[in-house]
Amino acid sequence: MIAQVIVDIAASQTDRVFEYHIPDDLSGVAIGSRVVVPFGKRKLQGFVVGISKTTDYDGKLRDLLLVTDEQPPLTKELVELSAFLAKAIFAFRISILQTMLPRVMRANYRKILIPLTPEAKKLPYFQQTAHEVDKITDPEELKFVQKLLKDNQAKIEYLVENQAKEKHELIYLPALANGQYQELYEQTRKTATKQRALLMDLVTARNSYPKSGSAMHDQGFSSALLKAAEEKGWIKCKEVEVYRDPLADVASKKPAELKLNPEQAKALAKIGQAISDQQAHPFLLEGVTGSGKTEVYLRAISQALSAGRNALMLVPEISLTPQMVRQVRERFGQEVAVLHSALSDGERYDEWRRIRRGEARVVVGARSAVFAPLENIGLIIIDEEHEASYKQEDNPRYHARDVALWRAKFHHCPLVLGSATPSLASRARAQKGLYTLLRLTERANQHPLPEVKIIDLKQAAFAGGQYDLSTELASAIQERLARHEQVILMLNRRGFANFMLCRDCGFVLQCPNCDLSLTMHKAAGEMRCHYCGHHEPIPKRCPNCHSSQIRFMGTGTQKVEQELTELFPGVRIIRMDVDTTRRKGSYKRKLDAFGRKEADILLGTQMIAKGLDFPNVTLVGVINADTGLWVPDYNASERTFQLLTQVAGRAGRAEKKGQVLIQTYNPEHYAIRLAQTQDYEQFYRYEMRMRHAGDYPPYYYTVLISVAAKNETNAAREAFKIRRQLNQQLHPETIVLGPTPSAISRLKNQYYYQILVKYKKEPKLNDLLHQIQDAGQKVKKYGLTINIDNEPERIM
Ligand SMILES: Nc1ncnc2c1ncn2[C@@H]1O[C@H](COP(=O)(O)OP(=O)(O)OP(=O)(O)O)[C@@H](O)[C@H]1O
Ligand SMILES: [Zn+2]
Ligand SMILES: [Zn+2]
């Protein structure tokens, strides 16, 4: 038998199947197995993606060396998915296979120097520990080693190490029948109190065995006592694997008996029908903030489980929504596994294995959990489906939503995309009937949406010297402090510090061709459009009103925190940004503290906008709504609208009425006006018109091709060559923009040029791009790298 293997080198020359003979003692190998294979004179980790009886290869195939795991880590489904994705997103298949698995399952390679001849073996050099060739830095030593190798005195042994480690624990079980313990108890001296206590425990608490070593110790049974008991044949001791459980502290809870409102009930019925009919149908659940989408998800999961199937639920970077994870765990207990980046490697590996072994039936996780090795899936949910974080920014550049669509088809199960502010792409698909639109138009508990007020910063008076807080926002905060209610303040960090804004008239400098803001390149002294390549000098005065009060936008949470403490002495603030939440678990700790009312104000970046449900929050303030509006991306308005609507939704979720104040220099902008009324549907219609007029998605599909090189001319030349190729082979209606230097045109001393292709129908494009990519790999020796991003979230 022959195994088809994808080996662990991400390069175009090795991005294909290699064949190996399966020796008799490894006949347990299966599709999805992780293996070690010889490759040249090295050894590599690989994955079996196919098994066949015959081969076209004339020579003698080499043998597989090892099958790493008892159970193949990848299911057949995932192997198939990897083939599909590799083609769709221009990634190496090995990169995708590795993305599907926990990081610890990547191999660790070591090159060890081994003496060959008897003389060499006697050398003092080999009397010490093993020498790792790659770690030798001393030039003298290197010379010495090279000579040994040249003279065949030593050789290099290649090791492929499995980094995945299981955690083990001792457990104790009774070895005798109940009656025998009774007898032993009576025979044992009264003074041997510990022994008698153990025997008594074995009689009276027999049902609680097997017990872990730590449980025994907690009961006062020492290791010495247990050892003696084992020797006497009273008990047996076994080493078993234990899971590291990231949610060990969450207790199961009976769900509160909520009666679904009619809209929720209707949505659930539709989804439930698709679960029982095993229909691979996507739903878009568009529900205003606080409309009870979570309850619909949880009940749908329940239905899938009752139907004997499993459920997969994605949430945006989970550590950011601890409240959601808790709820799922409370409802479904031990059947829930979580996967996200804040887990330790060990926890992640264990959760992953519980899923692979079929011990977890509900998986909640962030983006990469879309590859969870869950079988028999009956429902997939993506919460906050509009979130950009569902798209991976570097290779392999997959979008979790597209992967979920593929898996839903494979398993014949519904996919539920939920959001208060769906992505335009999904909403447009619902419009076309590709997805079924389900709407929740009111808050579940009948409380009104909060009242939103816009503060025009061009007219406003400022409370402090920093120009961050208007007097109106400051006095609203003061009121809440006096009433012991809580405040959430958000500082928008998107598009930070690099566009021009006039403080007098609110003008933002934009590209004359693209209606996108220009980005400042200080070093070059230029404002540039990253879409079409337009550039002009950095202005000294406002081009609109000639005021000299222009600013290059940017402010930080620390600065705002300082201003708050000056204005409200004694105020308790919890600050959340990338700096204060870097440590593991600190995000959750801070939120918990805020929930316990240990602070008056939660001040943070967009990371606080989503999913939080704090009943005592009655005021939400947005310090700067504008910054996100002018980032040079076609979806800047969409992102701004989503962010403002989401953050507004954090106010007044319980009994107390909520208020939202949005500070902006652009009160007339439609994204801000419509966020004020929290009217997603109207925003959708308006934004679709804008996209149509500008030939942007979802009216067009997009692909971004970027070329990087150490030498700027080489990058540009290759980019222009690609553009010519595209122009020759694509339809005339297809729009090819660029090449233009990327926003960060130089990164780690590489220059970047990019081309954007916008098309409606180009059946040949995927193949053409694969050709371009392969050709690009051949010129890699000139230091060129070509990256292709299908449906980029950012085109900066
Ligand atoms: N049928 C119901 N009756 C009463 N209360 C409900 C009902 N359904 C949900 N709720 C409550 O309404 C609140 C908001 O629900 P939930 O957090 O699910 O909203 P959501 O739609 O996910 O909001 P967001 O998009 O803002 O995260 C929760 O406290 C939830 O317990
Ligand atoms: Zn432009
Ligand atoms: Zn101006």
DSSP 708-731: EESSHHHHHHHHHHHHHHHHHHS-
Q: Cα(765) to centroid of ligand 2, in Å?
A: 25
Ligand 1 pocket, 261 CB below 6 A? Answer: yes
56: Cα separation from own chain's centroid: 41
Residue-range domain boundaries for the chain: 2-105, 108-161, 167-242, 262-440, 451-496+555-691, 499-549, 701-790
Quick one: DSSP state of residue 693? H
Nearest to 286 by CA among 317, 263, 314, 313: 263
Terminal Cα distance for the chain, rounded: 50
Q: Cα(164) to centroid of ligand 3, in Å?
A: 60
Q: For 564-595, write each residue's pLDDT tens digit.
A: 999 999 999 999 876 677 677 788 888 889 99
Ligand 1 pocket, 295 CB below 6 A? Answer: yes
Q: For 731-778, write each residue's pLDDT tens digit.
A: 999 999 989 887 655 555 678 889 999 999 999 999 999 999 888 777
Query: What are the tokens at 686?
Result: 């308006």
Looking at per-residue confidence, does 561 or 723 come out higher? 723
Element (H, E) at 402: helix 400-411
Q: Cα(288) to centroid of ligand 1, in Å?
A: 10
Q: pLDDT class for 673, splitting at 50, 70, 90?
A: very high
| CATH superfamily label, 2-105 | PriA, 3(prime) DNA-binding domain (3.40.1440.60)
CA dist., res. 95 & res. 105, Å (int): 13
If one residue of 289, 293, 441 were mutated to test the ligand 1 pocket, choosing by the most ligand atoms within 8 A of its CB, it would be: 293
Residue 312's identity, in one-letter code, is L
If one residue of 291, 294, 315 were mutated to test the ligand 1 pocket, choosing by the most ligand atoms within 8 A of its CB, it would be: 294
93: Cα separation from own chain's centroid: 20
Ligand 1 pocket, 260 CB below 6 A? Answer: yes
CA dist., res. 34 & res. 26, Å (int): 12
Ligand 1 pocket, 292 CB below 6 A? Answer: yes
Ligand nearest to the CA of 328: 1
Q: What is the pTM of this model?
A: 0.84
Looking at per-residue confidence, does 62 or 711 come out higher? 62
Give the length of the chain.
796
Ligand nearest to the CA of 503: 3
Ligand nearest to the CA of 545: 3
Ligand 1 pocket, 381 CB below 6 A? Answer: no
Give the residue-averaged pLDDT of 675-697: 94
- Strand segments, DSSP code E, in 433-474 are 436-440, 451-456
Nearest to 653 by CA among 364, 294, 315, 284: 294
Which class is domain 262-440?
A: alpha beta
If one residue of 261, 286, 421, 613 were mutated to test the ligand 1 pocket, choosing by the most ligand atoms within 8 A of its CB, it would be: 613
Residue with tokens 């529900």: 287
Ligand 1 pocket, 420 CB below 6 A? Answer: yes
Q: What share of the chain in percent tops pLDDT 90?
A: 51
Quick one: DSSP state of residue 34? E
Give the residue-averaged pLDDT of 305-317: 95
Q: Cα(753) to centroid of ligand 2, in Å?
A: 15
In our burial notation (b when 16+ CB lie closer than 10 A, e otherwise), range 704-728 reads bbbbbbeeeebbbbbbebbbeebee
Q: pLDDT class for 613, splitting at 50, 70, 90?
A: confident
Quick one: DSSP state of residue 162? -
Query: What are the tokens at 476?
Result: 């609203």
CA dist., res. 179 & res. 112, Å (int): 58
Q: Cα(645) to centroid of ligand 3, in Å?
A: 28
Q: Cα(636) to centroid of ligand 3, in Å?
A: 22
Ligand 1 pocket, 265 CB below 6 A? Answer: no
Ligand nearest to the CA of 620: 1
| CATH superfamily label, 451-496+555-691 | P-loop containing nucleotide triphosphate hydrolases (3.40.50.300)
Ligand nearest to the CA of 294: 1
Ligand 1 pocket, 330 CB below 6 A? Answer: no
Q: Cα(691) to centroid of ligand 2, in Å?
A: 15
User: Are 160 and 107 within 8 A, CB to CB?
Assistant: yes
Residue 7's identity, in one-letter code, is V
CA dist., res. 191 & res. 210, Å (int): 27
CA distances from 100 to 107, 160, 277 (A): 14, 20, 29
Nearest to 738 by CA among 703, 709, 695, 701: 703
Nearest residue by C-alpha to atom 16 in ligand 1? 292
pLDDT score recorded for residue 343: 84
Ligand 1 pocket, 290 CB below 6 A? Answer: yes
Question: DSSP labels for 525-560?
Answer: TEEE-TTT--EEEPPSS-TTT--S-EEE----HHHH
CA dist., res. 311 & res. 207, Å (int): 33
Whether 262-440 and 701-790 share one fold: the answer is no
For the domain with range 701-790, which CATH number is right: 1.20.272.10, 1.10.3720.10, 3.20.20.190, 3.30.70.600?
Answer: 3.30.70.600
412: Cα separation from own chain's centroid: 25
CB-based contacts of 59: which residues, under 8 Å, 6+ apart?
Answer: none
Q: For 410-455, write each residue's pLDDT tens digit.
A: 999 999 999 999 999 999 999 999 999 999 999 888 888 889 999 9
Ligand 1 pocket, 293 CB below 6 A? Answer: yes
Ligand 1 pocket, 287 CB below 6 A? Answer: yes
Nearest residue by C-alpha to atom 23 in ligand 1? 290
Quick one: DSSP state of residue 41? T
Looking at per-residue confidence, does 584 or 389 come out higher? 389
User: Are 587 and 576 within 8 A, CB to CB?
Assistant: yes
Is 237 assigned a ligand-binding role in the annotation? no
Nearest residue by C-alpha to atom 26 in ligand 1? 289
pLDDT surpasses 90 at 659:
yes
pLDDT score recorded for residue 743: 61
User: Are 653 and 424 within 8 A, CB to CB?
Assistant: no
CA dist., res. 309 & res. 416, Å (int): 16
In our burial notation (b when 16+ CB lie closer than 10 A, e otherwise), range 16-42 reads eebbbebeeebeebebbbbbbbebeee
